[in-house]
Structure 1
Amino acid sequence: MKRTLKVLVSVLSLSVLLSTTMAFAGGQQEVKPESGETGATTVVNIALANNPISQALEKIARENYKAEGVDIQISVLPENDLRQKLTTEASTGGTTYDVFFIGPYEANNWARFGWLENLEPYFSKMTAAKKSWYDRADLIQGMVGSVSLDGNAYAVPFYGESSFIMYNKELFAAKGLVMPDAPTWDQIYELAKKIHDPAKGSVGMTMRGAPGWGMSGAPFVTMVNAFGGRFYDMDWNATVDTPEQRAAWQMYKKILREAGQKDILSYTYNECIALMQSGNCGIYYDATSIAPPLESEGSAVAGKVGYVLPPHQKMKTNTAWLWNWSMGLNPKSDAKKKQAAFDFMLWATSKEYIKLTTELDPSGALTPPASRSSTYKLDAYKSAPYAEMTLKTLESTDFTKPTMEPVPYVGLQYIAIPEFADAGTKMTQYLADYVVDKITLDEAIKKTNDLFNQVAVDGKYR
């Protein structure tokens, strides 16, 4: 039976023990809870993904956010751990966390499962003054829509991102190289090889190598799209064993083995950022939200980074990804906690918070990108070297048309079906094994093709 999405709770249930490392938030910014509750302290637990924008929120909230009778406790977790813990929490009805830090993949599926609170009642009961202060219409609607279901918001975007190429203009100039405005993967590979000089400590190109559907899977799936590949035909037959897919697998390995970082498989975006910031890396393909740290104080490449569209190949249109990190409410939390959590979510996604980040760091390194249109009108942000290309990439990205050939799914760096969290992670493990020569390309392709065919059968997609 053909299906583009199905509710399958069991596939997302994980036998994981929940644990947290808490950091406390408090400070000077007085924000009255909408509920008006007073008395005993209400503790709100939040988990965020370990990336620079989230790290900034944890620190800024700790120093600046205060709500009467509310104690905000924030955990910053590695992305793979976060996804696993929150999926367990949501699927089992746990209440360790009151706020779920999720993206469009989770939001669309979890809203159907009843794992997220509908936020519309909370917005409806806001006072007129608070509605005006929050200015919901200013949120970038494409981002809002990606975490909504049937016109109802189930999360609010904290920051959004697409993907593009970042390159070290100083290293390029030293080699007499020019980066095309819209490069192909072949061109990126040749440029990376010319920059790569291990004897002098120069790395040609870095990309995420750590397995995980949200780690190496993010750049890799967009490479598959760029090479004209897809994962299923319209009858849900797996299409991994094709010349287009093979070309993408080979390119990913060639770049990282011939011009990439050492310890390929240990690199998440955090390690990639640090390498690029050091000034010793020529090219980096990743999320647009990663650009601000490269321009921040202390970065060796601040003012020296160029930004161009993500690489294409056989597919000539924009092959970027589209993602946002958003905040949703745990429907199993008690009402008082949910209201306090919602108030914090409003503050963290407000124009006021964005303005505060630019005051704390005019470089924009702390500022959540691609969540509000007004962000790009701020003097401190609109002149950022990456701002124009970020908008250009976002505006030319079509979430509904990920591939050259028709497909029965949506998603640019993932497939929006519940099973992809597990299947995509297994795929990236096969990719990792192929990159370090544990298995051949034929073995990796067969394992992955068989995996996706089994997903289609087990999920009754065909």
Structure 2
Amino acid sequence: MNMRAVLGAATALTAVGLTAAAQDATTLTIATVNNGDMIRMQALSDNFTEQNPDIALEWVTLEENVLRQRVTQDIATGGGQFDVMTIGTYEVPIWAAQDWLLPLDDLPADYDVDDLLPAIRSALSVDGTLYAAPFYGESAMVMYRTDVAEQAGVEIPDEPTWSDIKAAAEAMHDPDNEVYGICLRGKPGWGENMGFITAMANSYGASWFDMEWQPQFDSEPWQAAMNDYLELMNNYGPPGASSNGFNENLALFQQGRCGMWIDATVAASFVTDPDDSTVADSVGYATFPSREGVDNRGNWLWAWSLAVPSSTDAEDAAKRFVAWATSKDYTTLVAQEEGWRAAPPGTRTSLYQNQEYQAAAPFAEMTLKAMQAATPENPSVDEVPYTGGQFVAIPEFQGIGTAVGQTFSAALAGQMDAEQALQTAQQLTQREMQRAGYID
């Protein structure tokens, strides 16, 4: 046989081998959210498939509200549509208790579970067993334009009150030049506007329920918080704010349209990215505000995490992917590709001990401080029967929180005033809690 024939035969055998390998590959369907960190993970996933040629990845990337609806429906019905799900600290303990998630107690030794920040690890565990691996963790803080603040002659304290925020928003508001004093979430959803508004209400001394599970929207702290929220947004916010969630406000801030933005700490790496943000070199940070006389800054504790549903038929492959995407090696990969500033924050102790990260991420100290200050086990200054911070950790909250969020978004759009919105929230929440058997 001549050399050309040998090469031809070898090529044919290689093609057959590759085809067979492709046919034998396990396909993982991964449901994730359309934010910057998750999109970056998808872009870097060739690194995983090169290391694991027996696994192929299929991505379903969805807007936050849609993702929550799709994965909840799939896991509750045992649909098996997804092998890996992106879920949060709200879902993990509730779903694990229903045996809907596989335990992650068999991750490889080099994963180093003990390196996970204690608060995050605890939030994603039930009876000491981890049920989801954190991709990134966050709390909330104020991000503001230092240049606009200076021009307006205002100084934002490191630990501002809501009165400080209101005064700064008024001074920085310059709609003629398309700079709005403040940007806050208005898009309805239990994890969109209600994530922020619940945290804000906590910082005013409010709570969702008293110890008898009676709704508290008719209380003075809720009235004060809602009035100030609407005043800030109606007087100093951007137009169309009732449609703005995390991603929309991120884009506005990056474009220089927001004097201040109060939201998740994870946003800091994106507002300081010189490739995407026009204000990257003029961003300052402060803790989440509090109301004068209230010892609660509304800090929330959240992690977008990767979990493996019990309905998967690809357990081993799914756990391999989860371990890769939430590992220290993945953090190093991001740093190599995009710099340490872009490393997924808020999950590992080692990241905050890394001097390269500290030097590249001016927001690192404030992020860690906010996360360590979060008290999801005691979200309100009053004694309450629930945990959760910016949500209420009961199964019914998804439906109730979304309905209340729609009401508050309608108020922001001018369809009702604060009093009407709170009265509606009180009535619908009381009705749903009665149906669920919490109250008579």
TM-score (norm 1): 0.87
**Structure 2 counterpart SS, 1:418:** coil
1:381 aligns with 2:357: yes
1:326 to 305, 321, 334: 305
1:362/1:380 contact within 8 Å kept: no
**Structure 1 position 39, deviation (Å):** 7.4
Q: In the aligned structure 1, how far is the partner of 2:131 from the partner of 2:138?
A: 19
Determine the structure 1 residue equivalent to 2:201: 224
Determine the structure 2 residue equivalent to 1:75: 60
Determine the structure 1 residue equivalent to 2:177: 200
Large movers: runs of 4+ above 4 Å: none
1:282 aligns with 2:259: yes
1:433/1:439 contact within 8 Å kept: yes
Query: Letter of the aligned partner of 2:310 in structure 1?
Result: P
Larger radius of gyration: 2
Q: Matches of residues 303-314 of structure 1 in structure 2 within 5 Å?
A: 303-313=281-291, 314=293
2:48/2:324 contact within 8 Å kept: no
2:185/2:196 contact within 8 Å kept: yes
1:210/1:216 contact within 8 Å kept: yes
**Structure 1 position 38, deviation (Å):** 10
1:158/1:324 contact within 8 Å kept: yes
Q: Matches of residues 103-142 of structure 1 in structure 2 within 5 Å?
A: 103-120=88-105, 122-123=106-107, 130-131=108-109, 133-142=110-119
**Structure 1 position 303, deviation (Å):** 2.4
**Structure 2 counterpart SS, 1:364:** helix
**Structure 1 position 441, deviation (Å):** 2.4
1:160/1:324 contact within 8 Å kept: yes
**Structure 1 position 363, deviation (Å):** 5.0
| % identity of equivalent residues | 34
**Structure 2 counterpart SS, 1:359:** helix
1:251 aligns with 2:236: no
Q: 1:174 to 1:343 in 2, by over 3 A?
A: same
**Structure 1 position 318, deviation (Å):** 2.9
**Structure 1 position 343, deviation (Å):** 0.4
**Structure 2 counterpart SS, 1:206:** coil
Range with greater deviation from structure 2 (372-381 or 192-201): 372-381
Range with greater deviation from structure 2 (181-190 or 432-441): 432-441
Q: For residues 180-226 of structure 1, what are the alpha-carbon distances to aligned partners after superposition, in whole Å with 9 as ceiling and x for unaligned?
A: 11111121112111111111211111111110011111110011111
Query: Letter of the aligned partner of 1:42 in structure 2?
Result: T
Range with greater deviation from structure 2 (100-109 or 37-46): 37-46
1:189 aligns with 2:166: yes
2:334/2:340 contact within 8 Å kept: no
Determine the structure 1 residue equivalent to 2:322: 345
Range with greater deviation from structure 2 (376-385 or 348-357): 376-385
2:204/2:296 contact within 8 Å kept: no
Determine the structure 2 residue equivalent to 1:180: 157
Identify, as 1 or 2, the structure richer in helix.
2
TM-score (norm 2): 0.91
1:209/1:267 contact within 8 Å kept: yes
Q: In the aligned structure 2, how far is the partner of 1:438 from the partner of 1:251?
A: 17
Q: In the aligned structure 1, how far is the partner of 2:160 from the partner of 2:187?
A: 25
Q: CA RMSD in A?
A: 1.5
**Structure 1 position 64, deviation (Å):** 5.5
Q: In the aligned structure 1, how far is the partner of 2:46 from the partner of 2:232?
A: 41
1:358/1:380 contact within 8 Å kept: no
Structure 2 runs not aligned, ≥5 long: 1-20
Q: In the aligned structure 2, how far is the partner of 1:421 from the partner of 1:237?
A: 17
1:222/1:320 contact within 8 Å kept: yes
1:197/1:204 contact within 8 Å kept: yes
Q: In the aligned structure 1, how far is the partner of 2:182 from the partner of 2:303?
A: 25
Query: Letter of the aligned partner of 1:141 in structure 2?
Result: P
Give aligned pairs, total. 415
**Structure 1 counterpart SS, 2:377:** coil
2:181/2:258 contact within 8 Å kept: yes
**Structure 1 counterpart SS, 2:196:** helix
2:69 to 84, 96, 114: 84
Q: For residues 308-366 of structure 1, what are the alpha-carbon distances to aligned partners after superposition, in whole Å with 9 as ceiling and x for unaligned?
A: 100001422332111001111111111xx11101001101111110011111112522x
Determine the structure 1 residue equivalent to 2:40: 56
1:43 aligns with 2:27: yes
Structure 1 runs not aligned, ≥5 long: 1-36, 124-129
1:155/1:327 contact within 8 Å kept: yes
1:205/1:284 contact within 8 Å kept: yes
